[in-house]
């Protein structure tokens, strides 16, 4: 395993020892209470691990013996910590359960295969025994993709892939690499970097997620504009299924019928387990430039991104915060700081140039050779200038890059203070971005008000465009709301449902890069159509005829 799991939080995000940047900062909480229309925020601590009692493992002796015969006894684990760690992903919803100590359906054992043969043997055994199997990479799903679910069976095991973590081969001529799927992001990048390459896949979960997970949930990294999404960089994959190994892809291009990679990408473990993948590499960038801009409004910022992407400017990332997100982080950053001369000059300059509370911050990132970076930066600067944006310089970009993986750490301090924070995302064509943005924003704000613990309380809803394509873009919403402590699962679901209904009604996909899991299941049939669902079911029947693979995910 290329990560020390014992140092990862079992009921929150990331490193357990990660410092709480908000500890002791009372001004933050009084400010946030005001932002949410609340008189004050309550302390809402999590249960300790020691205080939690799980139901006993439901795996019978025969099943346990069978799994042990395949892996060895030490690779079949059912201690409380293991079962809780693997019970759920790391969504807000998951954290509600984990922090409450109510974990009604943890896996009955966690299995650690070391090879594709191990996986095949385990899946075959699970089919014979009638035990559900949940594939697990880093476990950072935020859509219920790894929730232990028995389906129609009496027990469920989680298949933890983290011991299948070898970089198997690098082809420096074709610029591809083949690795086992359980390798974590940092270990993969380190191994590739030693040979001068990068995959360039940096989702916010990068430190805690695996190659197989990125593929299984059809993910996108923050630099997808420069390095592609998983659908772009995946060349070949091996999927271990209860019926054997499906090998998909493997050629730089082929017209020999469907390549089946599309059935692996986003398959979320319902057909099988990704055990190995071949991916396209890039040379480690010689140069990198991240910088900030301020646009007068969301519309002009979005237009700038569209123009940049449609004209093929070589950017690694273009990320536009809406006015709400821009204002929130500016106010948050200013908290507890003295507003000196510099700040007043800054305000004066902004006002004199016509920037008001509709102003939107954009971070533009460029990576590659010196010439490409210079060209991309200059070309985007020209577009920004055309839209009368203000250049904020490199400091803004550097700060974003330094904190690029830290966002999720903010959830726990908030949850400790009676505040909920969740995110969701979608994508649509450029001609529909504004419509979808308004619809989802409105739905979130309305649902938060309606589910708030008291009259007059409301949410903070923010949005950014973080991934752009020639034909459209993603919208990523973050919403902060006062928790209704007596009905918080309902509250979460009501808000989520309102937003998801708005997405479906206004031409967005139910997920741009989080996946479907359990949480988006109610919207998938609408998006795929009945015949699309039939096709996915037919594929599942062909590969997993007994239906043991990851019950309750992706397909209703």
Per CB under 8 A, which of residues 348..387 are in contact with a copy of itself?
A: 368-369, 372
List 469, 493, 506, 522, residue binding a copy of itself (CB under 8 A): 469
Per CB under 8 A, which of residues 535..554 are in contact with a copy of itself?
A: 535-539, 541-543, 554
Q: How far is CA 553 from CA 104, 150, 280, in A?
A: 18, 11, 28
Closest separation in Å from C-beta 19 to a copy of itself: 32
Encoded one letter per residue, x for contact with a copy of itself by CB under 8 A and - for no contact, window 165-204 reads ------x-xxxx----------------------------
Segment near a copy of itself (CB under 8 A); pick from 41-49, 157-165, 380-388, 466-474: 466-474
Closest separation in Å from C-beta 141 to a copy of itself: 11
CB nearer to a copy of itself: pick between 387 and 513:
513
CB nearer to a copy of itself: pick between 115 and 254:
254
List 38, 110, 179, 473, residue binding a copy of itself (CB under 8 A): 473
Identify the CA nearest to 44 among candidates 3, 86, 101, 2.
Answer: 101
What is the rounded distance in angstroms from the CA atom of residue 474 to the CA atom of residue 229?
A: 13
Q: Does 135 bind a copy of itself (CB under 8 A)?
A: no
Closest separation in Å from C-beta 407 to a copy of itself: 18
Extract the tokens encoding 233.
Answer: 């960089």
What is the rounded distance in angstroms from the CA atom of residue 276 to the CA atom of residue 193?
A: 19
Q: How far is CA 175 from CA 102, 169, 274, in A?
A: 47, 11, 21
What is the rounded distance in angstroms from the CA atom of residue 300 to the CA atom of residue 455?
A: 36
8 Å CB contact between 315 and 376: yes
Closest separation in Å from C-beta 228 to a copy of itself: 10
Q: What are the beta bridge partners of residue 169?
A: 178
Segment near a copy of itself (CB under 8 A); pick from 4-12, 43-51, 236-244, 401-409: 236-244
List 19, 23, 43, 255, residue binding a copy of itself (CB under 8 A): 255
CB nearer to a copy of itself: pick between 149 and 527:
527
Closest separation in Å from C-beta 214 to a copy of itself: 10
Residue pointed to by tokens 């060209």 = 375
8 Å CB contact between 477 and 462: yes
Per CB under 8 A, which of residues 297..316 are in contact with a copy of itself?
A: 306, 310-312, 314
Per CB under 8 A, which of residues 416..455 are in contact with a copy of itself?
A: 427-432
Closest separation in Å from C-beta 286 to a copy of itself: 12
CB nearer to a copy of itself: pick between 158 and 500:
500
CB nearer to a copy of itself: pick between 28 and 239:
239
Closest separation in Å from C-beta 271 to a copy of itself: 9
Segment near a copy of itself (CB under 8 A); pick from 151-159, 389-397, 403-411, 468-476: 468-476
Extract the tokens encoding 544.
Answer: 């997993």
Q: Does 262 bind a copy of itself (CB under 8 A)?
A: yes
List 72, 196, 244, 354, residue binding a copy of itself (CB under 8 A): 244
Q: Please, what's the b/e burial string for 540-553 (b: 16 or more CB within 10 A of its CB; e: otherwise)?
A: beebbebbbbbbbb
CB nearer to a copy of itself: pick between 244 and 395:
244
Per CB under 8 A, which of residues 105..124 are in contact with a copy of itself?
A: none
List 111, 248, 373, 548, residue binding a copy of itself (CB under 8 A): 248
Residues listed for the chain = 556
Encoded one letter per residue, x for contact with a copy of itself by CB under 8 A and - for no contact, window 273-292 reads -------x------------
Q: Is 480 helix (H, G, I), strand (E, B) or coil?
A: strand
Q: How far is CA 372 from CA 175, 227, 315, 316, 509, in A?
A: 19, 14, 9, 11, 33
Encoded one letter per residue, x for contact with a copy of itself by CB under 8 A and - for no contact, window 14-53 reads ----------------------------------------
- Neighbouring residues of 295: CB distance < 8 A, sequence distance ≥ 6: 301, 304, 320, 359, 360, 361, 362, 384, 387, 389
How far from the centroid of its chain's Cα atoms is residue 75's Cα?
A: 28
Identify the CA nearest to 215 among candidates 258, 174, 183.
Answer: 183
Please give, one letter per residue, the 3-state secondary structure of 292-310.
EEEECCHHHHHHHHHHHHH
Identify the CA nearest to 322 among candidates 307, 343, 300, 351.
Answer: 300
Q: Does 245 bind a copy of itself (CB under 8 A)?
A: yes
8 Å CB contact between 150 and 156: yes
């Amino acid at each position: 395993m290329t990560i020390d799991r014992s140092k990862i939080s079992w009921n929150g995000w990331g490193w357990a020892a990660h410092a709480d940047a908000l500890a002791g900062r009372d001004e933050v909480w009084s400010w946030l209470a005001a932002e949410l229309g609340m008189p004050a925020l309550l302390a809402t601590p999590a249960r300790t691990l020691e205080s939690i009692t799980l139901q006993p493992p439901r795996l019978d002796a025969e099943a346990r013996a069978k799994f042990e015969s395949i892996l060895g006894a030490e690779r079949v684990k059912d201690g409380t910590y293991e079962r809780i760690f693997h019970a759920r992903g790391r969504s807000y919803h998951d954290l509600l359960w984990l922090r409450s100590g109510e974990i009604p359906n943890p896996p009955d054992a966690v299995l650690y295969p070391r090879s594709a043969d191990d996986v095949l043997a385990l899946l075959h055994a699970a089919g014979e025994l009638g035990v559900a199997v949940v594939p697990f990479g880093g476990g950072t799903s935020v859509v219920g993709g790894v929730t232990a679910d028995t389906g129609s069976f009496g027990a469920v095991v989680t298949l933890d892939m983290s011991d299948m973590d070898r970089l198997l081969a690098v082809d420096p001529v074709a610029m591809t690499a083949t690795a086992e799927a359980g390798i974590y992001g940092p270990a993969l990048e380190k191994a590739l970097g030693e040979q001068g390459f990068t995959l360039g896949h940096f989702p916010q979960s990068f430190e805690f997620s695996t190659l197989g997970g990125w593929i299984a949930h059809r993910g996108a990294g923050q630099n997808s504009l420069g390095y592609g999404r998983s659908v772009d960089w995946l060349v070949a994959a091996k999927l271990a299924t209860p019926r054997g190994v499906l090998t998909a892809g493997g050629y730089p291009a082929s017209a020999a019928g469907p390549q089946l990679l599309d059935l692996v990408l986003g398959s979320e473990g319902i057909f099988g387990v990704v055990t190995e993948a071949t991916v396209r590499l890039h040379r480690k960038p010689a140069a990198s430039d991240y910088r900030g801009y301020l646009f007068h409004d969301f519309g002009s910022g979005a237009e700038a991104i569209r123009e940049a992407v449609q004209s093929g400017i070589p950017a690694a990332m273009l990320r536009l915060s809406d006015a709400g997100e821009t204002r929130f982080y500016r106010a948050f950053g200013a908290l507890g700081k003295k507003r000196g001369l510099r700040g007043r000059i800054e305000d004066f300059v902004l006002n004199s140039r016509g920037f008001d509370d509709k102003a939107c911050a954009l971070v533009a990132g460029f990576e590659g050779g010196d010439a490409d970076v210079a060209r991309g930066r200059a070309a985007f600067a020209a577009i920004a200038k055309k839209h009368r944006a203000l250049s904020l310089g490199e400091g803004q970009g550097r700060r974003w890059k330094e904190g690029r993986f830290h966002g999720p750490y903010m959830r726990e301090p908030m949850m400790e203070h009676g505040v909920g924070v969740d995110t969701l995302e979608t994508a649509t064509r450029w001609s529909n971005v504004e419509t979808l943005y308004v619809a989802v924003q409105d739905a979130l704000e309305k649902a938060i008000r309606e589910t708030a613990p008291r009259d007059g309380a409301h949410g903070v809803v923010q949005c950014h465009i973080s991934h752009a394509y020639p034909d459209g873009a993603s919208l990523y919403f973050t919403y902060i709301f006062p928790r209704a402590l007596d009905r918080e699962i309902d509250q979460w679901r009501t808000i989520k449902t309102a937003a998801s209904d708005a997405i479906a009604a206004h031409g967005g996909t139910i997920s741009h890069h989080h996946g479907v899991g359990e949480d988006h299941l109610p919207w998938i049939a609408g998006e795929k159509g009945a015949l699309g669902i039939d096709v996915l079911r037919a594929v599942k029947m062909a590969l997993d005829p007994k239906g043991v693979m990851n019950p309750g995910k992706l397909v209703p």
